[in-house]
Structure 1
Amino acid sequence: MPQIIILPHHEVCPDGAVIEANVGETVCDAALRHGIEIEHACEKSCACTTCHVVVREGFNSLGELDELEEDLLDKAWGLEAESRLSCQARVANEDLVVEIPRYTLNHASEKH
């Protein structure tokens, strides 16, 4: 079972975490299953960028971006070459190191 190392994030995961993921599961679903509340304003329908992550290790093991995800990523805050929408990035057999950006472009967060 592959692992996802989530780097520390000031609000979502202050100490960082190492979680197990199922092959084929999205990074977002794996994180949520382990209590790491990655924002996902569109309910994981690939319609926003709030679940944007940067894959620091293991990026090439993920499936290719489709055109919709690629277009949406252009709008993400802090976009990098290894950026993915965590609701679309499916885990393969390789471990991942993931960073959750400090900010999102969500103008109406459910958390206060």
Structure 2
Amino acid sequence: MTQIIVLPHEELCPRGALINVAAGISICDALLQNGVDIEHACEKSCACTTCHVIIREGLNSLNPADELEDDMLDKAWGLEPNSRLSCQALVSDADLVVEIPKYTINMVKEG
């Protein structure tokens, strides 16, 4: 099992989270299945940036971002070189440290 350490986020997980997941799952699905209600306005279709995360450790273990993801990331708030859309980033066998940015560009939340 791979561990995902989610750094504290004021609204979504104030104490942070430690999640154990199997390889092959997206970071977004891993977070959602473990009580971290990350936004995903486009239903995980790589059509928005609401599930933007910053990979603080383990970036090189993820599947590479494709051109569509890179284009979408250009619109994300707080973009960093180690940013990914969590709906597109698939977990491998290396542990990850993930930060959820404080803001998104989304005006409406699902649910």
Give the alignment's TM-score, normalised by structure 2: 0.97
Counterpart of 1:20 in 2: which secondary structure? strand
Deviation at 1:63, TM superposition (A): 0.7
Counterpart of 2:11 in 1: which secondary structure? coil
Deviation at 1:109, TM superposition (A): 2.5
1:11 corresponds to which residue?
11
1:52-82 deviation line (CA, Å, top 9, x unaligned): 0000000000011001000000000000000
- Note the aligned Cα RMSD (angstroms): 0.9
1:28-64 deviation line (CA, Å, top 9, x unaligned): 0001110110100001011000000000000000011
Aligned-pair identity (%): 66
Pairs within 5 Å for 1:1-112? 1-110=1-110
CA distance in 2, matches of 1:46, 1:96: 21
Structure 1 unaligned blocks of 5 or more: none
- Number of residues of Structure 1 aligned to a counterpart in Structure 2: 111
Structure 2 unaligned blocks of 5 or more: none
Letter in 2 for 1:86: S
